[in-house]
Amino acid sequence: MIRDITLGQYYNVESLIHRLDPRVKMAWTFMYIIGLFIINDFIGFVFAGICLALVIYMSKVPVKFMVRGLKPIFFIIVITFILNMLMIGGEVLVKWWIFSITKEGLKQASIMAIRLIMLIIGSSILTLTTKPINLTDGIEKALSPFKRFGFPAHEIAMMTTIALRFIPTLLEETDKIMKAQQARGADFESGNILRRAKQLIPILVPLFIGAFRIANDMAMAMEARCYRGGDHRTKMHSMQYEKRDFVAYGLIVVFLAAIILLRIYF
Amino acid sequence: MSIKVENLCHVYRKGLPEESKALDEVSFDVSDNQILGVIGHTGSGKSTLLQHLNGLLKADSGEISIDGMRLYAPEVSMLDIRKKVGLVFQYPEYQLFEETVAKDIAFGPKNLGLTEEEIDSRVREAMSLVNLDYDTFSEKSPFDLSGGQKRRVAIAGVLAMKPKILILDEPTAGLDPKTHKDILNMVVDIHRKEKNITVFVSHNMNDIANISDNIIVMDKGKCVLQGKPEEVFSHSDFIKSIGLDLPDVTQLMKDLGIEREDGKAIFSLDEAENMIFNMIGGSK
Amino acid sequence: MEKIVRIENLIFKYANNNDEKRVLDDISITIDKGSFTAIIGKNGSGKSTIAKNINALLLPTEGNVFVYEYNTKADEHIWDIRQCAGMVFQNPDNQIVSSVVEDDVAFGPENLGIEPQEIRRRVDYALKEVDMENFRKRPPHMLSGGQKQRVAIAGVVAMKPDCIIFDEPTAMLDPRGRKEVMKIIKELHREGITVILITHFMEEAAQADRIIIMDDGKIEMDGSPVEIFEKSNRLKELNLDVPLAVELRDRLLRKGLNISKDIIDKESMVDYLCQLK
């Protein structure tokens, strides 16, 4: 059922990682990804892997949730691995027909695969431990310095907030409309592409009309509650950094420094 | 024509921690030419039940037979069911999508694969059943109509499939009192003319008491009470304990402590008036 | 008595409609501070248009609308007007902005530029007022219609308005939700908030201390519930419901029973009849 689709895969528990300021978590994710591309050796991945494992442990999110995120891209990982393995020349280990697997190729392929896996797991921590709404607030706050150059940080955040709010409503609406048209004998599953596209009209038209009605009502309700854009606006959650956030920022520097040192000296 | 529902069970989110029984061993019968009222507070399983009756949802266990046709038999297609059972959803006007009223009503018959002439005659017939004049409305955009008219068009869209069983989920929700009355009278008229089985859900106990032949009461996915309205509403304490109201007249008579000798609930104001007058008449 | 809303010869037409139909046709009303007024009429009678004119969401075609001394046409006071006279709409879904209950309640105060600690205080207070403090962290789409509408009311209460206009707040709710919302409306009125309730349910209007009946853009009747229900025949002509108690009263009167015109609700009817028993 369409209603069962979960968006923004937030995992609701209390943990230190959950409590961190979203800006810190975004910075961490960003720097972690950069770190992954600096690393070029297994020892680096072992270090990053230990850090990652530590964070996962602290976040109290079950490991299976992290691994679940890998499923859709498993195929991509395999392709990347094979391509890297076959394309890079060097000391030949196995040779079969026109394919040859080299030592360098195998190493490079493994590095790419590990990098991808760690990248997906690492960045899923951000969404697993941060509510979408807090993420939006974090983005708004982080981007607010760019407002003076005309960057619409508040507007983007507001739009995202409303979109997040109405995704479940619109999914429910779609479900209802589909059922109602099915009750009138509509069949969404058979026929060729053209026929199927045509069969979407009885769903899309009411859905769009519904969305416009929501937008219209929403605009009126927001105006009635004195909404007038981002100027003069305050926030209930003013997002003040706590001590732990500064510690986390400090640890980013340590993390990056360690990775660079590992790359240089090993 | 009949509906027979036996031990129907439906579980939402099976296998997940938030698993819940939307329908739990529901059984009831509806015989020919009846109006069945379905009541229960929001979330009691009413809407889930209706969606089973025309095959939109499939039960985890149990049986539904419509006129002897077992819904879950392998040879029965969805289209077979939809030809017999028409379902009008809550706020059905939100599902209109065509450029003209006539085209929108024709959507159902078209899906049944009927000929042009047959479709046209069904559209005309359905429009007359919902009291919309063909010449005035057929070429209008459904989006230019008033709320009550839109709802008529939406109901006509289901009637055009000529169902022998018409199911309506809160057909009067959100309407003003005048339109509410008009739509309710229309439903009763259609029932009389078409001699169909009508199943309708409502939160308005006055409507339920006045037009139903039989009532089933849903609570937490179970069918907890069924019978004629005057019997069902005579269990006033039970009805209230599951979060439902009594019809206004019934409630008033209960507050006054006036009862009929046979213990059945009182709905008609005429009857109430006479009983009240008799009660105080002696002391005047 | 201080007047909170003053409507003077309000005429309203939708600008984009070429036809000359007046949605509101020369309406004049004053609303006393602290009063509870119900505006009732069938769909298309213009009752919601009045509400939107008071909140400056619509502006008069002719005539004036004042909230306190502020004319709704004066741009510089528009935010004062909307803060003083808050508004709750019909569809509970389409007025909730955030996917967290308490963040939604904070939306109004945030727009007013209030200090974060004060917003926190107001949000807590408002959620308590509508009895939703246990739902503060919930996503609105998991709530019932009545609960959503209570959240919407909290969102207005948190702006500390003097007056709240309810535009058919119960039209889309089930009986339970309807009762919850009416209970809160009455509580807010008791606490001193001026209430303007737009509705098409007569049982709800009967709970106000003044009923204004609209028909076809004009004021058809205006008075206390007792005064209005004295003319129950006129109500029926206007296709409006008459409360059961009033209908029964009229029938008993016709039978020659000497029954007071003040009896308009079920409770007083029951009390009265039980005395006669």
Listing DSSP states for A45-68 in one string gives HHHHHHHHHHHHHHHT--HHHHHH
Contact present, C219 and C24 (Cβ < 8 Å) = no
Q: Answer whether residue C94 shows pLDDT above 50.
A: yes
Inter-residue contact B28 to B5 (CB < 8 Å): yes
Please state whether A162 falls in left (phi above 0), alpha (psi between -120 and 50) or beta: alpha
* Closest CB from B13, B56, B97 relative to A179: B56
Q: Are residues B158 and B84 in contact, defined by beta-carbon separation less than 8 angstroms?
A: no
Domain range C3-242, CATH class: alpha beta
Q: Are B150 and B21 members of one domain?
A: yes
State which amino acid sits at residue A144.
S
Tens-place pLDDT, residues B225-246: 999 999 999 999 999 999 999 9
Bridge partners (DSSP) listed for residue A102: A92
Which residue is closest to B256 within chain C, CA to CA? Answer: C270
Average pLDDT rounded to a whole number, residues B189-211 = 95
Chain centre distance of CA B282: 43
Please judge whether A233 and C111 are an interchain contact, meaning their C-beta atoms are less than 8 angstroms apart: yes
| Whole-number CA gyration radius for chain A | 24
Average pLDDT of the residues in B269-282: 84
Task: Look up the CATH number of the domain holding residue B164.
Answer: 3.40.50.300
Q: Are residues B240 and B263 in the same domain?
A: no
Integer angstrom CA distances of residue B195 from A125, C154, C256: 61, 49, 44
Q: Which of B13, B82, B92 has the CB atom closest to A185's CB atom?
A: B82
In this predicted structure, what is the pLDDT of residue C275?
A: 84
Q: Which of A 202-261 lie inside 8 A of C, CB atoms?
A: 213-214, 217-218, 220-228, 232-238
pLDDT in tens, B136-193: 999 999 999 999 999 999 999 999 999 999 999 999 998 988 899 999 999 999 999 9
ipTM exceeding cut-off 0.85 for this assembly: yes
If you count residue pairs, one on B and one on C, with CB atoms under 8 Å apart, how many are there? 77
Rounded Cα gap, residues C71 and C56, in angstroms: 9
Q: What is the pLDDT of residue A6?
A: 40
* Cβ proximity of A32 and A122 under 8 Å: yes
User: Can you list the residues of chain A whose pLDDT is less than 50?
Assistant: 1-8
Separation of alpha carbons C228 and C218, rounded Å: 16
Provide the number of structural domains found in chain B. 2
Return the C-alpha torsion angle B175, B179, B181, B186, nearest 10.
Answer: -110
| HSE toward the beta carbon, residue B84, CA cutoff 13 A | 18
Q: With b meaning 16 or more CB within 10 Å and e meaning fewer, what string describes C39-58?
A: bbbbbbbbbbbbbbbbbbbb
Residue C46 in this model has a pLDDT that exceeds 70: yes
Say what the pTM is.
0.87
The whole-number pLDDT of residue B284 equals: 46
- Check: CB of residue B51 under 8 Å from CB of residue B57: yes
Q: Are residues B241 and B252 in the same domain?
A: no
Residues in chain C: 277
**Mean pLDDT value of segment C251-263:** 87
Range of the domain at B99: 3-246
| pLDDT tops 60 at residue C220 | yes
Q: How far apart are CA C26 and CA C9, in angstroms?
A: 5
**Given the structure tokens 């008071």, which residue do they identify?**
C54
Q: What is the pLDDT of residue B15?
A: 65
Residues A115 and A34 sit within 8 Å (Cβ to Cβ):
no
One domain, residues B105 and B202 = yes
Q: What is the pLDDT of residue B18?
A: 66
What residues 120-149 of chain A have any CB closer than 8 A to a CB of chain C? 131-133
Instruction: Tell me the angle at which helices A103-129 and A42-59 cross, rounded to the nearest 10 degrees.
Output: 20
Residue C71 phi, psi dihedral angles, 5° rounding = -80, 135
Q: Which two tokens stand for residue B109?
A: 């018959």
Quote the CA–CA distance of A38 and C176 in Å, as a whole number. 61
Tokens 């042009």, located at residue: B116
- pLDDT at residue C117 above 50? yes
What average pLDDT does the segment C139-149 reach?
A: 92
Q: Return the exposure string of C102-111: e unless at least 16 CB atoms fall within 10 Å of the residue's CB, then b.
A: bbbbbbbbbb
Claim to verify: residue B95 and residue B209 sit in the same structural domain: yes
Average pLDDT, chain C: 92
pLDDT at C221: 95
Which residues neighbour B8 within 8 Å (Cβ) at sequence distance 6 or greater?
B23, B25, B26, B27, B49, B52, B59, B61, B62, B63, B64
Residues B193 and B271 in one domain: no
In angstroms, the CA A229 to CA A239 distance is 20
Q: Is the pLDDT of residue B52 over 50?
A: yes
Numbered residues of chain C with Cβ closer than 8 Å to any chain B Cβ: 42-44, 144-145, 171-172, 174-177, 200-202, 239-241, 244-245, 247-248, 251-252, 255, 257, 266, 269-270, 273-274, 276-277
Structure tokens of B104?
């929108």
Rounded (10°) CA dihedral B159, B161, B165, B167:
-60
Q: Which position has the token pair 């409305």? A: B137
- Domain identity same for B96 and B215: yes
List chain C residues with CB under 8 Å of B248.
Answer: 244
B154, B275: one domain: no
